[in-house]
């Protein structure tokens, strides 16, 4: 601002003062009226949430150790099975289990002090893991809100042997499982048993106890009918889908390089059908039961015969997928043995009394179109 | 410095004739006034433009982007509820026919999946219209055969079209198979899908993404990430694919094929991993645009320009008067006096107009913009929670992840799972709904919003309890500690059915009421924002003409005032 430097010139000083005062007033008016730039950022709370600890996607990654942990099937593959087909762990064949309990205690009268007793009397229900989206093994029927399928029937039979056959479902706590979280559920003791299309393998035997075989499944290929794909050789370099955490993945790794298909693993076998229908994969590898269930849902597909895998893979029962009921290893070996033995007894009983055949005819036969025979041989071998 | 300039000017003037000095003075005054008039016009125009832009484009675009997000979330929720379609009418199994008919009508009138998808498609078009600059119109780059063909990316074998895009192009939106969330949309922007896309690194789906790509014949090396593609393109491509996936799911469900559930899961994954993050990019973009428009509409630089030029103009006028008084001994020059008054009037008018504009904009922000964005976010979160609720129930005990996510989302709203407000934590963000409800300026926010939300959360809580306490339930293990003493109590053998019934019946009613209230609240807030911004613009509209007119009058008056003095020399 101008300041009156020339003391003698009053008028000039007065003029400068007037000027300064005018400008000052003006500034004040404007600054008071509008104090600076207004901002309008999005409130923090209106922004997106930070990353959730739990993934939002239905098929997002699962919890820890979901896909093949350090103890998963893949890494344990080497050395778990001997050349002669026995498990390195205990020197027994893969299918070997405890001898079936006979005679079975009558339902509702479990032996005192046993785990069965605490389940039957103290808790009042059995916790069973089941697949709910893989017909004909296990499926939720949304019309009736009931679970149904071959595995579910087996599970109900076991529960009926403990609680009696009336109102079995009120004594079962079903829990849906996917192929990836099966072992974890048993390890964390979230379920008493898994009847969930689980193949008995030596690797898995390190983590869980298996009953004897309740169904002999085999590996098969599902392809689009008329696609010209008639064997695994034709799939060299092509995407082939399988469920994560299953055994097919590892078996396909044995195929030698020039013929190797590209293995794509998805969380559930049903997701593989979606991928096949969108043309993202050219084949689905899985157990015959499950593939029959998928083929029943898509008339454009067909299940290839066992010859499609070639002799090398099929040799020495390489395609066998013996299903067993999995039970946890609790640390109390005697109790585990008794429990497994009881379950084997139940399995033997339903195979002998026709329940097994009834379940087979109801659920598996329409898809497999073949007569089924209960795998009694293994049970009898165990009991001798 | 001013003193020196005045001195030099005076020194120069001493060598000049009086008339030349007067002409110089007149030119100076006119120049200063002209500068002031020009500045006032420019600043007011700029502000008015920004305000109008805020009203007509940015604000509307933001609201549209939010509607788009809400519509897609709603579609996701409707699709997730599709699992229960077979039983939704069985809820009232034993009820009299009249009641069943009422329920049937209610279900029919619910906001359907189709309506939500149609609304989202309309919003995409609206955004394209509102913001043509967002997605450049280079059709050559986008319409490569196969580039916008979902089949090319999603199902390589399904389309009969040409080979997939060459490596140079970005797969135009990078439609991955929906179940592989590995490469997501990868749209850059604040707070996008970093979470799902990043966390998915280990998912088995990763194999598919690479796999499907390498499988395509002549597909070249994997294309660049879809970063360059604009979110609207991505949405325009993915929404139809998503829609088709849900329709496939419904068709399968209707004939009792369980692969329908797999389709629903795939669709939901696609929605959450790719589509919704793209809408978040849009919302963030237009929120930024609103912020920018606010700053332009109230820029301090313009204010200072007006202040300085006004000061110069007034100074010139006062100086001219002082000089004339000294030279002519006439105390008052009416022309210059009128000019000064006119300039002062213009200044006052400007000050009042700017003040009104700013206070209206502030009100629009506090009572309109903030509640609108907060409530819109609340709606998205609530719908997300609804999806989790349905997915968890449909997962049959395998839905722990959804329950955790539900709790997380409810937390984002500011509530815990039982419907109580969470205690405010000083560091972390608060709940969006709680902030909206507590805002002093948000008096228009309906208070029953909280009650409605609570009612819904309570019903869900009761469902969770029911399932946790019933041994036969398929869901119990996920909620209960396991085998903790549930012994000998009466067990309904249909607890799961009861849970579904409760979720579909009262749960849906409560949630629908909550959404309805929320919609009204969002609309109210948006209405306030529009009104306030409109009034802010109206405050300036008069000034744009009157300001320069007053200055012009001042110039004429000043010339008229000095002219007689000049004529004395002619």
Q: A with B: how many residue pairs have Cβ under 8 Å apart?
A: 345
Contact across the interface for A34 and B295, Cβ inside 8 Å: no
If you average pLDDT over every residue of chain A, what do you get? 82
| B404 vs A: CB within 8 A | yes
Binary contact (A23, B311; C-beta < 8 A) = yes
Cβ A22–B314 below 8 Å, yes or no?
Answer: yes
Using an 8 Å Cβ cutoff, are B288 and B188 in contact? no
A34 CB neighbours in chain B (<8 A) are 298, 303, 351, 354-355, 357-358
Which of residues A58 and B548 earns the better pLDDT score? B548
Q: Please name the residue that has the structure tokens 């003075």.
A: B25
List chain B residues with CB under 8 Å of A57.
Answer: 181, 196, 200, 268-269, 272-273
Calpha distance B240→B72 (Å, rounded)? 12
ipTM: 0.85
Q: Is the pLDDT score of A356 beyond 50?
A: yes
Q: Which residues contact B98 (CB under 8 A, 6 or more apart)?
A: none
CB contact under 8 A, B487 and A59: no
Q: Nearest CA of chain B to the CA of A368: how many Å? A: 18
Q: What is residue A327's predicted lDDT score, i.e. its pLDDT?
A: 95
> Given B295, B361, B391, which is nearest A58 (Cβ)?
B391
Integer Cα distance of B213 and B222 in angstroms: 7
Q: Which residue of B has its CA nearest to A294?
A: B259
- State pLDDT tens for residues A295-342: 999 999 999 988 888 888 888 788 899 999 999 998 888 999 999 999
Partner A, chain B 325-344, Cβ-Cβ below 8 Å: 326
Q: Do B347 and A67 touch (CB under 8 A)?
A: no
> For residue B25, is pLDDT > 90?
no
Share of chain B above pLDDT 90, in %: 40
Domain boundaries, chain B: 2-135+230-567
Q: Is B494 on the interface with A (CB under 8 A)?
A: yes
The lowest-confidence range among A49-53, A197-201, A281-285, B242-246 is A49-53
* CA of A361 vs chain B CAs: smallest distance (Å): 20
CB nearest to A174's CB, from B258, B290, B397:
B397
Asked if pLDDT for residue B240 goes beyond 90, the answer is yes
Chain B nearest C-alpha distance from A47 (Å)? 7
Answer whether B404 sits within 8 Å of A175, measured CB to CB. no
Nearest chain B CA: its distance from A295 CA (Å) = 11
Q: Which of residues 407-426 of B touch A (CB under 8 A)?
A: 408-409, 412
Tens-digit pLDDT profile for residues B43-97 = 999 999 999 999 999 999 999 999 999 999 999 999 998 888 887 777 666 778 8
Question: Shortest Cα distance from B119 to chain A (angstroms)?
Answer: 22
Highest mean pLDDT among A211-220, B142-151, B475-484: A211-220
- All structural domains of chain A, each given as residue ranges with its CATH number in brackets, are 85-217+322-383 (3.40.190.10), 218-317 (3.40.190.10)
Q: Which pLDDT score is estimated for B95? A: 77
pLDDT in tens, A233-259: 899 889 999 998 888 888 888 777 777
Nearest chain A residue (CA) to B211: A239
pLDDT at B500: 81
Tens digits of per-residue pLDDT, B280-338?
A: 999 999 999 999 999 999 888 888 899 899 999 999 999 888 888 887 777 788 899 99
CB-closest option in A265, A274, A297 to B207? A265
Confidence of residue B444 (pLDDT cuts 50, 70, 90): low
């Amino acid at each position: 601002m101008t300041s009156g430097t020339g003391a003698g010139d009053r008028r000039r000083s007065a003029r400068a003062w007037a000027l300064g005062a005018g400008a000052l007033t003006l500034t004040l008016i404007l600054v008071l009226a509008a104090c600076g730039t207004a901002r309008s950022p999005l409130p923090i709370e209106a922004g997106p949430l930070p990353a959730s600890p739990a993934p939002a996607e239905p098929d997002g990654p699962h919890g820890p150790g979901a896909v093949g942990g350090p103890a998963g099937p893949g890494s344990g593959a080497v050395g778990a099975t001997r050349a002669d087909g026995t498990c390195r762990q205990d020197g027994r064949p893969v299918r070997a289990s405890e001898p079936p309990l006979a005679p079975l205690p009558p339902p509702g009268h479990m032996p005192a002090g046993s785990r069965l007793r605490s389940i039957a009397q103290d808790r009042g229900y059995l916790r069973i893991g089941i697949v709910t989206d893989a017909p004909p093994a296990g499926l939720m029927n949304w019309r009736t809100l009931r679970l149904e399928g071959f595995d579910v029937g087996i599970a109900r039979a076991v529960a009926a042997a403990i609680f009696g056959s009336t109102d079995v479902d009120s004594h079962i706590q079903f829990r849906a499982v996917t192929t990836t979280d099966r072992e974890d559920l048993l390890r964390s003791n979230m379920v008493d048993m898994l009847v969930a299309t689980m193949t008995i393998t030596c690797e898995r035997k390190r983590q869980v106890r298996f009953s004897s075989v309740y169904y002999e499944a085999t590996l098969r290929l599902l392809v689009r009918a008329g696609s010209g794909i008639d064997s695994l050789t034709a799939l060299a370099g092509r995407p082939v889908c399988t469920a994560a955490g299953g055994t097919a993945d590892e078996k396909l790794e044995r195929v030698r390089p020039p013929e190797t298909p590209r293995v794509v693993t998805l969380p559930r076998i049903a997701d593989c059908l979606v991928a096949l229908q969108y043309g993202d994969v050219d084949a689905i590898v899985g157990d015959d039961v499950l593939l029959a269930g998928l083929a029943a849902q898509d008339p454009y597909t067909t299940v290839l015969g066992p010859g499609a895998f070639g002799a090398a893979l099929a040799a020495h029962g390489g395609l066998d997928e013996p299903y067993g009921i999995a039970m946890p290893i609790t640390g109390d070996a005697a109790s585990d043995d008794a429990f497994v033995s009881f379950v084997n007894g139940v399995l033997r009983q339903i195979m002998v009394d026709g329940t097994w055949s009834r379940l087979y005819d109801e659920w598996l036969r329409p898809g497999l179109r073949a007569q089924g025979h209960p795998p009694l041989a293994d049970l009898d071998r165990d009991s001798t | 410095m001013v003193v020196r300039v005045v001195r030099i000017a005076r020194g120069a003037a001493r060598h000049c004739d009086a008339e030349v000095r007067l002409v110089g003075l007149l030119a100076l005054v006119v120049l200063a006034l002209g500068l002031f008039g020009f500045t006032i016009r420019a600043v007011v125009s700029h502000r008015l433009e920004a305000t109008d832009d805020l009203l007509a484009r940015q604000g509307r675009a933001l609201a549209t982007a939010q509607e788009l997000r809400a519509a897609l979330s709603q579609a996701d929720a409707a699709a997730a509820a599709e699992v229960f379609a077979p039983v939704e009418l069985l809820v009232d199994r034993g009820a009299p026919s009249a009641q069943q008919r009422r329920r049937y009508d209610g279900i029919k009138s619910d906001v359907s999946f189709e309506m939500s998808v149609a609304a989202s498609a309309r919003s995409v078009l609206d955004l394209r219209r509102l913001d043509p600059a967002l997605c450049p119109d280079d059709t050559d780059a986008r319409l490569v055969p196969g580039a916008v063909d979902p089949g090319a990316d999603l199902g390589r074998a399904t389309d009969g079209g040409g080979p997939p895009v060459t490596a140079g192009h970005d797969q135009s939106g990078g439609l991955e198979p929906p179940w592989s969330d590995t490469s997501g949309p990868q749209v850059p922007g604040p707070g996008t899908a970093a979470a799902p896309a990043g966390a998915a690194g280990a998912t088995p789906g990763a194999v598919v993404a690479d796999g499907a790509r390498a499988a395509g014949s002549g597909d070249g090396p994997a294309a660049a990430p879809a970063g360059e593609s604009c979110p609207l393109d991505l949405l325009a491509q993915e929404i139809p694919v998503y829609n088709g996936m849900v329709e496939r799911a419904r068709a399968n469900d209707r004939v009792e094929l369980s692969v329908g559930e797999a389709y629903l899961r795939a669709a939901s994954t696609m929605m959450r991993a790719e589509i919704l993050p793209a809408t978040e990019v849009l919302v963030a973009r237009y929120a930024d645009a609103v912020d920018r428009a606010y700053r332009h509409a109230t820029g301090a630089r313009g204010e200072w320009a007006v202040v300085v030029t006004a000061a110069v103009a007034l100074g010139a006028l006062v100086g001219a008067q002082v000089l004339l008084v000294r030279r002519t001994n006439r105390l008052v020059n009416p022309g210059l006096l009128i000019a000064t008054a006119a300039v002062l009037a213009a200044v006052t008018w400007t000050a009042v107009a700017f003040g009104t504009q700013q206070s209206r904009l502030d009100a629009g922000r506090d009572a309109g913009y903030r509640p609108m964005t907060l409530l819109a976010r609340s709606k998205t979160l609530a719908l997300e929670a609804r999806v989790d609720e349905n997915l968890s129930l449909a997962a049959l005990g395998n839905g722990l992840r959804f329950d955790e996510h539900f709790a997380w989302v409810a937390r984002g709203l500011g509530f815990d799972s039982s419907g109580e407000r969470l205690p405010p934590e000083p560091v972390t963000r608060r709940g969006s709904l709680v902030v909206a409800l507590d805002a002093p300026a948000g008096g228009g926010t309906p208070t029953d919003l909280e009650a409605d939300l609570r009612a819904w959360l309570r019903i869900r809580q009761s469902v969770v309890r029911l399932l946790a306490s019933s041994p036969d339930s398929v869901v119990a293990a996920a909620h209960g500690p396991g085998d903790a003493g549930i012994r000998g109590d009466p067990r309904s053998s249909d607890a799961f059915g009861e849970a579904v019934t409760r979720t579909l019946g009262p749960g849906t009613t409560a949630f629908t009421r909550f959404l309805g209230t929320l919609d009204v609240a969002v609309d109210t807030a948006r209405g306030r924002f529009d009104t306030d911004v409109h009034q802010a613009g109206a405050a300036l509209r008069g000034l744009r003409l009157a300001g320069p007119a007053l200055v012009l009058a001042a110039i004429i008056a000043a010339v008229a005032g000095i002219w007689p003095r000049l004529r004395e020399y002619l």
